[in-house]
């Protein structure tokens, strides 16, 4: 009898404890559900519904992006262009996304960017969107293109150059740009574990005098306005062409496709801004000191 009574008491205690635990779990779930529904504006059920409609909308956009990324036809500097895959990294940086450029998530992030710019927020990276991106990148470039005065220039040592045999007058850089470049290159060398003999991020071309630029234009008359500009930012001494792989300064798509995939270029896209350098989207090697 005594034992049975004890068993009954123990069972009752266990049952009450179990009920209490179950109740506590239920109410804490309830609280977190309430907390969740407080943070999102819509009730949980509707959020699920609208995100699944969204997902299917962006699936279609992602499908279009997969085609346009390789095939969109557009013009830059008077030259026909094809696709935007060469600018994947710059686009992702601008949209502040890590998602694959042909994914639904990317399309959704793009739609957010489009909305902010009052473009149709469909998540499709078509010609209008690409032009908006290009104009944003172009407007972030060096504004003051006044030619450098001799006292603003320093002559960098041959070891900073892709071609160490370059003449002293072709190794000049604007003083502040050079200081920033040296800081940037030290950070890049550490991050990328570049050997001292590595050509990556060495300077291919820096300050160019107007006379020298005219000579370059004469030597390559077909380079067009996307190539050797009449009013080159290189006159300022603040534009640097650095080695990012492939053929150093060749705008052929196949060459640029190599360049935009090197660790050196990827590093620049991620970090150069911190040192005051901004890209020229069309030439992966060309960076301008804008501070
Ligand atoms: Zn350049």
Q: Which one of 83, 117, 139 terminates a domain?
A: 139
Question: Is the domain of 254 the same as that of 189?
Answer: yes
Please report, for the domain that includes residue 178, its CATH number: 3.30.1380.10
Q: For 48-64, how does the pLDDT look when each residue is reduced to its tens digit (9 = 90+)?
A: 445 556 667 799 999 99
pTM for the full model? 0.79
For residue 13, the model assigns a pLDDT of 44
Instruction: Collect the ranges in the chain with pLDDT lower than 70.
Output: 1-55, 221-230
Residue 95: other Cβ atoms inside 10 A: 18
Under a CB-based contact definition with an 8 Å cutoff, are residues 82 and 253 in contact? yes
Question: Is the domain of 285 the same as that of 156?
Answer: yes
Which distant-in-sequence residues (6+ apart) come within 8 Å of 44 by Cβ? 33, 36, 37
Question: Is the domain of 133 the same as that of 162?
Answer: no
How far is ligand 1, taken at its centre, from the CA of residue 281, in Å? 11
For residue 38, the model assigns a pLDDT of 40
Question: Is the domain of 73 the same as that of 194?
Answer: no
How far is ligand 1, taken at its centre, from the CA of residue 208, in Å? 10
How far is ligand 1, taken at its centre, from the CA of residue 128, in Å? 26
Question: Is the domain of 157 the same as that of 193?
Answer: yes
For residue 228, the model assigns a pLDDT of 63
For residue 54, the model assigns a pLDDT of 61
Q: How many domains does the chain divide into?
A: 2
DSSP state of 246: S
Question: Is the domain of 160 the same as that of 282?
Answer: yes
Residue 170: other Cβ atoms inside 10 A: 16
How far is ligand 1, taken at its centre, from the CA of residue 210, in Å? 14
Q: Which one of 110, 139, 168 terminates a domain?
A: 139
In this structure, are strands 73-76 and 79-82 parallel, antiparallel, or unpaired? Answer: antiparallel
Q: For 124-146, how does the pLDDT look when each residue is reduced to its tens digit (9 = 90+)?
A: 999 999 999 999 999 999 999 99
Is residue 3 one of the residues assigned to a domain?
no
For residue 264, the model assigns a pLDDT of 98
Quote the CA–CA distance of 69 and 60 in Å, as a whole number: 14
For residue 44, the model assigns a pLDDT of 46
Is residue 16 one of the residues assigned to a domain?
no
Is residue 179 one of the residues assigned to a domain?
yes
Provide the residues around ligand 1 (an ion) whose CB is within 5 A: 241, 286
Domain of residue 127 covers 44-139
Is residue 239 one of the residues assigned to a domain?
yes
For residue 80, the model assigns a pLDDT of 97
Is residue 33 one of the residues assigned to a domain?
no
Question: Is the domain of 124 the same as that of 155?
Answer: no
How far is ligand 1, taken at its centre, from the CA of residue 279, in Å? 10
């Amino acid at each position: 009898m005594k034992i049975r009574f004890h068993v009954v008491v123990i069972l009752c205690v266990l049952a009450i404890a179990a009920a209490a635990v179950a109740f506590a779990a239920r109410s804490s779930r309830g609280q977190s559900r309430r907390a969740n529904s407080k943070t999102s504006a819509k009730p949980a059920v509707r959020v699920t519904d609208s995100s699944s409609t969204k997902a299917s909308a962006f699936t279609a956009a992602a499908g279009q992006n997969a085609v346009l990324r390789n095939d969109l036809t557009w013009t830059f500097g008077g030259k026909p262009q094809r696709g935007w895959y060469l600018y994947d990294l710059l686009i992702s940086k601008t949209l502040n996304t890590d998602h694959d450029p042909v994914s639904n998530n990317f399309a959704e992030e793009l739609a957010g960017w489009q909305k902010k710019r009052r473009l149709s927020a469909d998540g499709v990276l078509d010609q209008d969107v690409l032009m908006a991106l290009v104009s944003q990148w172009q407007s972030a470039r060096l504004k003051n293109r006044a030619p450098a005065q001799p006292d603003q220039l320093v002559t960098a040592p041959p070891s900073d150059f892709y071609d160490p045999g370059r003449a002293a007058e072709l190794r000049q850089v604007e003083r502040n740009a050079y200081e920033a470049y040296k800081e940037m290159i030290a950070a890049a060398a550490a991050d990328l574990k570049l050997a001292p003999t590595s050509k990556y991020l060495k300077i291919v071309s820096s300050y160019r005098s107007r006379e020298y630029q005219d000579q370059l234009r004469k030597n390559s008359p077909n380079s067009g306005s996307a190539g050797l500009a009449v009013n080159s930012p290189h006159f300022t001494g603040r534009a640097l062409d650095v080695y990012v792989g492939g053929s150093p300064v060749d705008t052929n798509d196949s060459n640029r496709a190599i360049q935009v995939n090197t660790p050196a270029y990827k590093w620049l896209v991620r970090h150069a801004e911190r040192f005051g350098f901004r890209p020229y989207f069309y030439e992966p090697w060309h960076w301008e000191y804008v501070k």
